A = this chain, B = another copy of it.
Amino acid sequence: MSTTTTLRALTIDNINPHVKEAKYAVRGELAIKSEEYRSQLQKGDGKDLPFDAVISANIGNPQQLDQKPITFFRQVASLLENPLLLEHEDVLIDKLGYKSDVVARAKKLLKDVKSVGAYSQSQGAPGIRESVAKFIEKRDGYPADPKSVYLCAGASSGVNALMNVICASPKTGVLVPIPQYPLYTATLSLLNAKAVPYYLNEESAWSTDVGGIKTALKKAQDEGIDVRAVVIINPGNPTGACLEAEDITSVLKLAAEEKLVVLADEVYQMNVYKGKFSSFKKALRDLQKSDENKDGKFDNVELASMHSTSKGLIGECGHRGGYYEMVGFDEEVSLAIMLEDRANTVMKVVSQVYKFVSIMLCPPVIGQCIVEMMVNPPVEGDPSYELFNQEYERTHKGLQDRANALHKAFEEMEGVSCQPPQGAMYLFPTITLPEKAIKAAEKEGKKPDEFYCLRMLDATGVCVVAGSGFGQKEGTLHFRTTFLAPGVEWVSRITDFHKKFMDEFR
């Protein structure tokens, strides 16, 4: 115990141990150090640094890396923030290039929320949840119920709510893919529940193998863990992999057999570069309609699907918008339901998820409006469609091109191998480091991949995240990089660094 124990109520030794245990490398030491470099460069103090700009490839933050916002979204948002502008429709249209559908959308959304400065319902504004339900219906070809949709402050906040309800004791387990976006393990640490790892198959493009999930499940059950849910990230983070339709069905069948809640993290559903995204919701409804469901065994599969405004081709992460749809859950858990009380008054009883989210009042309202525009963008024939479509396609192409260029560069680097980009915003190459580098890392008290990434940052200003921050098979090393940064110059910074690093430690 340090001497501070005697001075203060809180010390590093007595705070919540679960907060201490939680790990979240995406915004960890490397990220902080990169911010420090950035601030030195801004102040003109960084003249001795071997680079003149920091590239934050550690986090999917498109607009930090010069991705332009979608004009339609931001024009509407400007009117939501200042509705007095609607009194000058002529100026908006004649002088400022706003189209009539921008004005109409702003009016619709203001009707839904009254003011973006007012709290909405804790579950999100009803009119916006209706738009989300329509989007899901159109995407999947099956009805969706606005009452089952919860708006949230980015998918992270949805995961937090769901995990809080699911995790009942230190014996509660949740199956998480490895590698995974560390939100899941961090949240489980905070809730003092168990992350039950199942491994993705790097050799087959990071595919999800339901056999592997089963093995992990049985092992955990044998250890007395009450496994209640399985997390699937599709498209994958950090892997970028897209699940095959049959793998989705297999996961749902396993969920039915083993009574597992399925948490489908589908925030990258628009970031698909090969093939077509297929949702868990659609697969579940297909399965429920199929002959295999004669006995109704798939009727009660509990599925929560997340989506977000942060990623896709809009990249509005600073707005903290998102939603999750909950289907198949017990009404007392997920829905506010109608009940008659003893006086025969019809009463709504608040569900547990609703109560949980109500404690934080409501998601940011302007973020809710961005969700609405994401799920209900301009369509062909709308005045704003042409520009919207141009911007959307340009971003998609830019991501795809950069992903391919980066992948090519990785494939040419000594000891590096990388699965081809399929989806999301990331590549997750595997690296083989010389024994001398591993020893040097050990000497500095660092994991080899952390050591490598730190050296990369120091040499190039490019900030990536070590594979150990996501989990990786024993004995393998990786790093995750986004392919959001414009240009290719930074890619050659990485290849040059890698060559020198290998030469130094060979």
Which residue numbers of A lie inside 8 Å of B, CB to CB?
4, 7-12, 14-17, 19-20, 22, 24, 26-29, 32-33, 35-36, 39, 59, 61-64, 69, 71, 74-75, 77-85, 88, 91, 95-96, 113-122, 126, 153-154, 156-157, 160, 164-168, 183, 186-187, 190-191, 228-229, 259-261, 300, 302, 314-320, 328-330, 332-333, 336, 341-343, 345, 347-350, 352, 355-356, 358-367, 443-445, 454, 458
Contact = CB atoms under 8 A, between A and B. Distances in A.
A168 B17 contact: yes
11 contacts: A7-B300, A8-B330, A9-B261, A9-B302, A12-B352, A20-B352, A28-B358, A77-B82, A80-B81, A317-B361, A366-B366
Given A14-B168, A118-B61, A24 B358 contact: yes
Given A63-B118, A349-B29, A362-B318, A16 B164 contact: yes
A156 B359 contact: yes
Nearest to A458: B345
Nearest to A114: B64
Given A8-B302, A12-B333, 8 more contacts: A9-B228, A11-B333, A16-B167, A29-B347, A64-B115, A117-B317, A319-B365, A320-B364
Contacts of A167: 16
A364 B364 CA distance: 7
A78 B69 contact: no
A26 B122 CA distance: 11
Given A228-B9, A317-B361, A19 B350 contact: no
A69 B7 CA distance: 45
A350 B33 CA distance: 10
B81 A27 contact: no
A26 B454 CA distance: 48
A165 B19 contact: yes
- In this complex, the member of A79, A164, A187, A359 whose beta carbon has the largest number of chain B beta carbons within 10 angstroms is A359
Contact of A361 (B27, B75, B77, B352): B27
A69 B444 contact: no
Contacts of A9: 228-229, 259-261, 302
A308 to B, nearest CB: 11
Contacts of A126: 39
Nearest to A116: B318
Contacts of A35: 121
A164 B19 contact: yes
Nearest to A36: B348
A271 to B, nearest CB: 16
Contact of A364 (B7, B191, B367): B367
A81 B81 contact: yes
A115 B69 contact: yes
B10 A333 contact: yes
A284 to B, nearest CB: 14
A157 B119 contact: no
